[in-house]
Each structure stands twice: as C-alpha cells, then as structure tokens.
Structure 1
Amino acid sequence: MMEETEELSGRKRDEADSFRLHMVTWNVATADPPDDVTLLLHLNAPKSPDLYVIGLQEVYSGPVRFMSDRVFDDSWSKLLMDTLAPRSYVKVSSIRLQGLLLLCFCKLQHLPFIRDVQARYTRTGIYGYWGNKGGVSVRLSFYGHMLCFLNCHLAAHMDYASERVDEFQCILDTQAFDCPKAPRISDHRLVFWFGDLNFRIQDHGMHFVRSCIAEQSYHLLWSQDQLTMMKKKDRVLQEFEEGPLDFPPTYKFDLNSDIYDSSGKKRKPAWTDRILWRLRPNEEEEEEEEEEYPLRVRQELYTSNMEYSCSDHKPVIGVFTLELRKMCAGPLVRLQPDGDWSADMDAMVLYSPLQPITASPWDWIGLYKVGFTSVSDYITYTWVKDDEVASSEEVVQVYVSKEEIPVRGGECVLCYYSDALQCVVGVSEAFKVQGSKVASEEGLMPGNIDALDRTVSREDLLD
C-alpha cells in the first residue's frame, strides 16, 4: 500500500509544471528610471521568466507629476511595459499609492489562466492618513492557485523595529478582497512580502559592519539584522522564509556611486530591501486539495544589483521556480478570426466556450497588435452579445466592422474579456490583418497612416 502511495505521489510530482518568477524590489528615491533595465530584468538570461513582479518605493509623487501619472502611465511603468511588451509580456495588474508602485506581468500564453485579479492598498504613514508609507498588493489566481504579492514601505530609523512589525500586521489585518476562499492576504496559498522593509543592523558598530562588507563576511552581520531578530519573537514573521543574505547591504549609498553614505550622517549600511515568501501550511479542510494540486516554491537566486546607482538603494532581485499542478489546464474560450481579415472589408470572429461560462452583455472581444502592453491596449473591440451574427451549440459568430480594423494592418491577436470574471479568458493565435488597399493607392501607407489607425476609448470599459 505504501509503495502504491509513493508511486501515486511520484506521478503527481511528475505532472507538475514549472514556472519561473522574477521579482524586483527597489527604492528608487524619486529618481527617473535608467535608460536600460536589461540587467535588472535579466533579459539575456537563457531561461525567460513566466512572471515578472516589480515593486518600487519612493517613485516621485510631486503634485504635478502625480496628477499627470493618474492620466498617463508614470515613467517607470512606461519603461517596463515598453521593454517587456515586445517580448510578449502583458501587464496583468498594477497599483500605486503615492510613491509605492507594484506591477505584475505575465507571458501572453498565461494570460487566460490568470483570474480573480484584485489590487488593494493600505496607508500607514502619518497616523494612516498619508501614503508615504504603507503597502500595496495584487492577488490573483494562477492556474487555480491563489497567490498574493505585497509590496511595503515601512517606518524608517533604527529604533522603530517594533513599529515596522506593527505596520506589517496592520496591513495584513486591514486589506480585504472580494474572494470567498481568500478574503485576506494570509488566506492565500502563497504570499510574497517584499519592499523597503527598513530593518537595520543593530549593535554592531560602523567600522565592524563596513569591514564585514569589504571582506564579504556577511554572515557575521546576520545575527544583528533586525528582521532576523524580530522573527524569533513574532509568530507571523516566523511563517515567512527568506534566502540567505549573501549580498552587500543595499542601503545607503551615495548617489551615482557604489560608496556607502559618506555624508555627515554616515548612516550604517543595512539590508532594508527584502523579498520573503510564505507557503501556507496544510489545513485540515484544504489538505485534500493541496495534496491533489501541489504547489512548491524554490528560490533560484537572491541578490542585489550593484550596477544601478541612480538611487541611494540598490535593487534586490529574487528568482523563484513555482512547481504546481494546474487546476485549470485549458482556457474557458477558444476564438479565432473567421477567414482572412483586411481593413477593406467587414470581418467575423468565431468563438467557442470550452467550459461552462455565462456570456454577459458586457463581455467583449478585443483586437490587439502583437506586442500589446496590457488588456486596455486594444485597437478596437466588439460586443459579444450586441454584435453576435449567428450561433450554434458549439460556435458563435461575432461581427467586426471594417471601420474598426487598423488601416495599415499587421500581426494581431484576439482576446475574449469576461465581465463576470474581470479578466481575459481566451487568446487567439496570432494572425495577419491585411492593410487597406484603398489607403495604399491613395498614398497613405505607410508614412502618414498613423493618424488613421483607428482606436477607441478604453477607460469606459476598464475603469
């Protein structure tokens, strides 16, 4: 019997899929983004991530810039989207609380399997009214597994270690999601907690700390790291794991240098910027599901990146492998263009529900250029119900007017957006849209055709 159990367990492990998660936390100290984030995102690595999760702190939030960022993407978001979109990454969600910014990206192929996406924020700065400190989170279901990413910027200064723990607990207690199975952060199967947590190195003097750093004897400093010390006292902190701090403390540097603070204050270096995770232990009522659909986490890399010097903090990178068995192996909807598409003729979309799904009058199908940045970045859309032409038990045909098709054509994909689930539940294969022959004959292609690329307002759908 034991052999059969071990064989079954081995089979389940063999069925698990591996996904690569690349995480970044960086206090950017109000600096503008660098020109190149190749090293930050490991864009030349032999294996590309399936997910990127990037948490920034102290993004510049002066009144004028902050108001413009509410209308247009801030410079950091724009750089990251423009960098990742050509590599077929789509922004799944983002949330900002003044200087706190959290962005989540996935490969296009995973988009139909990321559902129940919600974002929240909690202010803890200045008695909870000002957002200079606090936490922002994004929770989602990834192939049926509930994940939560929490980016925090906690209270500063050496003597506030207990206050930092209190702020973290406050964020855990106050953030709530519209999700019956995981209404709180701690209810999620896997939680990543990261950011400028501001824990310092106690007791050791400046000379000793800097000598340990120069000799790369980081282990001599671990015992006086405040987060390590607080974990011995606090049960909630004990649930979180962290890789070894085998990299130089990431705070505080002179700007545009690798030199620790040489100002009159001479602040002591510290590992203020951290990435931790917590895989929920089995509970009796969920043990069967977690045994049937295992989820394992393995950290592949935990390091700082010394190449970037525009801030007084260095960015920290964590790379993880998530091994899981998919709870949902196929998309909810299959869709494709009906025949060839051209800007000179009306077109049709064919879609087929692959699993029970109730089509809402507010469901829509978007047409996107290959390399689009986010769900709101469509060229045009068609309403699933209002524009339905014909249907059978298996296939529904939806009309798209030629007036809505981009005049110069290009490589495109179709995405089915479910209003009930508030996410994309189906993505087509890429296909070619032929440009307008009429526009070409009139000499409008390709030089001055940009003005004729028809787009529509997105805010009314996705706000």
Structure 2
Amino acid sequence: MKSAACLRRPSTPKVSVLSIHVVTWNVASAAPTVDLSDLLQLNSQDLNLDIYIIGLQEMNSGIISLLSDAAFEDPWSTLFMDVLSRLHFVKVSQVRMQGLLLLVFAKYQHLPFIQIISTKSIPTGFYGYWGNKGGVNICLKLYGYYVSIINCHLPPHMSNNDQRLEHFDRILESQTFEGSDVPNILDHDLILWFGDMNFRIEDFGLLFVQECITKQYYQELWEKDQLRIAKRRDPLLREFQEGPLLFPPTYKFDRHSNNYDTSEKKRKPAWTDRILWRLKRQPQTSPLVSRLPSSYFSLTLKSYVSHMTYSISDHKPVTGTFNLELNPRMSVPLITMMPECLWTMENDMLISYTSTPEFLSSPWDWIGLYKDVL
C-alpha cells in the first residue's frame, strides 16, 4: 500500500492592527487655549487609538518663550500630555526646533516594543543656519520596523515653489543615522511626512478659487495645486502618497473666524497643511501563495480632514487617521523589568532588567517610571 503524504496549509502570520492619529497645525504663535477633543478625536466612540503623532509649526519662539520652555515644558506639550495621560498614553519622544514641535505618544502596552533611534533638527532658513524653516525628525523602531516621522515648515509665497521642493530634498538628504545597523531613510518601512508645506494654487484667480470653495468643487482646484503638480514630475516625490483633498483649503483665515483673508493682501486660499506617507516597496509574492509574507506591513488611510472649529490661528489643523497592519518582527519586549522585592515606602526600591540581543544600547538609555492611571 502506498503511503500518502500529509499536506498542511502553511500557517498565516499573526497580524496586528495599530490605529495612528496624525495632527499637523500651524498655530501662528497662539497660546493653547482650546479644547482638544475634536482635534484628537476623543469623542469618537468606535475609535480606539494606539499612537498619536502631533506636529505643530510657528509656536511662539521669542527669546523669553524659548528660555522659559528650556527650563519648563512648553505650554502646548503640557496640554497634550495632560489630556492624553488620562487615556493611558505616554509621551515616547519629542523634538523641538524654534517654532517646530514634534510629539509622539503611545499606549502603555506598546512601550516595550518601541525603540527611539534618533531625534534630529534640520534648519533650512537663512542658508541652513536658522530654524524658522526646516524639519524635525523622530526615527523609531516599532515592533521591529523602522518608522521615520518628519514635521516640516517650508518657505511661503506663491513664487517660492522651487525653493520649497529644494528644502524638501534637503530635509530628506539630511536624514543620516549613526550606526551601521540603521538603514538609509528610503529603506525605512514607513515615512510619515507632514506640516505646513506652503504649496499654493497656481493660475486661478482669487474669485474663481473662492467660488469653487463655496460650491465645494475642490477637484477643480486640485489640478493647479503645486504639490500635486510636483508629484507628477518628480519620481521620488511621486512615491509619497496622500489622501484626497475633500476639505476646504486650510490657509489663510482671519483669526477667530472661518472667513478667508479679508485684509488688504487678500491672500488666495491654499492647501498648505498636508500629511504624506511613503511605504518601503514590498517584495511581490506569487499569486499562488495565499499567506502573508513574514514582513507584512501595510498602511490604510481611514480619515483625512480639516477641523474648522479651531480659529486661534490663520491656519486650520489637519488630521489623518491610519490603520497600520503588521506582522510583528518581535514578540518579546526589548527590556524586561524584574522588581527585586515588594516595593514599600520604608525600603529601597530595587529593580533589575534584562535586554534582548536586538536591543541597541546607548549611554543615553534611561529607565522611566510611569503612574498607572486606573
């Protein structure tokens, strides 16, 4: 009797889904006197977020403000921390360059699987010596995948489109990382790039643009949007994706209103505030193979909107909510903490820890204790 081979279906790797909320807002030096509920989607009953990524531009960067923020937490960071800490989020990292601020918050359960690789500031103002324009970057490993996050503020005005594209390239080229184990940014699994990019709407006159906005004929304006035009011409920029612009242009408004610029300058509205992303090219699998590749990593845009209720600035904030599906490359925390004994007020509190071989240690490593909010 012939023996029959036992056929087994290949096991499908377990996929985790992380919900990520990205915020970009040019606050125009305004103080944080707002309710963040709408901006952070706190009232969405079916939204269970895992990570917040928040980028601000044009924070108050006067000398007195910078000196105060160097000694104490800046008011915007404090406000975001006060709100998100009550929801079991911890500030993982932040970087500031003058008016640019980038914050990353994550839920407690994800902390053992996040490793900060670097934070960086790239000034492009005044021939690269001044940080009023440029970008700030946080590079991290998330469940074993490289993720680069960039918040930028590019040069303004209609005529400076070439300069904007030059600064975009300069920020990207400046993303070098110490250590041979960290790949080039273009080999990172995900780049999230957002901020006040200052791209404008070409050719069309003010009245035509205003009429299209009133009638919500946004598609009429897309063809003359400088960023969309540049993406058609530039192969690298074309690799960055963006959701459809189904919301009104976010610049320029009279403060404390939803009216576009009524000053003497009457600046033409534009989608200056944008959120882009780029995924590393995935190897193509055979159509006969139904299981996911072991390095499965996919990003899906769920929402891309502006928030018209905020009027303290001449810009409206923009948010993007994403689902990140991944097959975790690590299932064991990088660091495991082990209390030596029961902690009491009367005795010294001792703790030991072990790290995995994948953990890239540094003299800058630190251990943080976080309050468990019940």
Does the TM-score normalized on the shorter chain lie above 0.5? yes
1:3-402 equivalences in 2 (<5 Å): 8=10, 11-12=12-13, 15-45=14-44, 46-282=46-282, 291-337=293-339, 340-349=342-351, 351=353, 366-371=368-373
Distance 1:346 1:305, change over 3 A: same
2:16 aligned partner, one-letter code? D
User: Matched residues in 1 for 2:218 and 2:361: separation?
Assistant: 57
Tell me, which stretches of 5 or more residues in structure 2 are unaligned? Answer: 1-6, 285-291
Tell me if structure 2 keeps the 8 A contact 1:254–1:312: yes
Tell me if structure 1 keeps the 8 A contact 2:100–2:153: yes
> Which has the higher relative contact order, 1 or 2, with Cα contacts under 8 A spaced 6 or more apart?
2
Tell me if structure 1 keeps the 8 A contact 2:116–2:138: no
Residue 338 of structure 1 and its aligned partner are, at CA, apart by 5.1
Name the SS of the counterpart of 2:305 in structure 1. strand
User: Matched residues in 1 for 2:155 and 2:355: separation?
Assistant: 49
Question: Greater CA radius of gyration, 1 or 2?
Answer: 1
Per-residue deviation, residues 78-103 of structure 1 (Å, max 9, x unmatched): 11111111211111111111101111
Which moved further from structure 2: 297-306 or 47-56? Answer: 47-56
Tell me if structure 2 keeps the 8 A contact 1:333–1:355: no
User: Matched residues in 2 for 1:180 and 1:47: separation?
Assistant: 39
Distance 1:282 1:357, change over 3 A: closer
Name the SS of the counterpart of 2:275 in structure 1. strand
Tell me if structure 1 keeps the 8 A contact 2:93–2:116: no
Tell me if structure 2 keeps the 8 A contact 1:38–1:44: yes
User: Matched residues in 2 for 1:246 and 1:185: separation?
Assistant: 30
Per-residue deviation, residues 8-55 of structure 1 (Å, max 9, x unmatched): 4x823xx21100000000000000112321111111222221111001
State the Cα RMSD in Å. Answer: 2.5
User: Matched residues in 2 for 1:301 and 1:193: separation?
Assistant: 16
Tell me if structure 1 keeps the 8 A contact 2:24–2:54: yes
Tell me if structure 2 keeps the 8 A contact 1:121–1:175: no
Partner in structure 2 of residue 375 of structure 1: none
Distance 1:43 1:344, change over 3 A: same
Tell me, which stretches of 5 or more residues in structure 1 are unaligned? Answer: 285-289, 372-410, 412-463
Tell me if structure 2 keeps the 8 A contact 1:275–1:318: yes
User: Matched residues in 1 for 2:359 and 2:28: separation?
Assistant: 46
Per-residue deviation, residues 263-314 of structure 1 (Å, max 9, x unmatched): 0000000000000100011479xxxxx9321100100000000010000000
User: Matched residues in 1 for 2:324 and 2:362: separation?
Assistant: 34
User: Matched residues in 2 for 1:151 and 1:88: separation?
Assistant: 24
Per-residue deviation, residues 337-358 of structure 1 (Å, max 9, x unmatched): 4554321334444656677879
User: Matched residues in 2 for 1:352 and 1:127: separation?
Assistant: 46
Tell me if structure 2 keeps the 8 A contact 1:181–1:187: no
1:39 aligned partner, one-letter code? D
Residue 116 of structure 1 and its aligned partner are, at CA, apart by 3.8
Name the SS of the counterpart of 1:39 in structure 2. coil
Name the SS of the counterpart of 2:267 in structure 1. coil
After TM superposition, the score normalised by the length of structure 2 is: 0.90
Distance 1:138 1:351, change over 3 A: closer
User: Matched residues in 1 for 2:363 and 2:252: separation?
Assistant: 54
User: Matched residues in 2 for 1:26 and 1:364: separation?
Assistant: 31
Partner in structure 2 of residue 420 of structure 1: none
The structure whose residues are more often helix, as a share, is 1
Distance 1:60 1:176, change over 3 A: same
Which moved further from structure 2: 81-90 or 52-61? Answer: 81-90
Percent identity reads 48
Residue 193 of structure 1 and its aligned partner are, at CA, apart by 1.0
Partner in structure 2 of residue 429 of structure 1: none
After TM superposition, the score normalised by the length of structure 1 is: 0.73
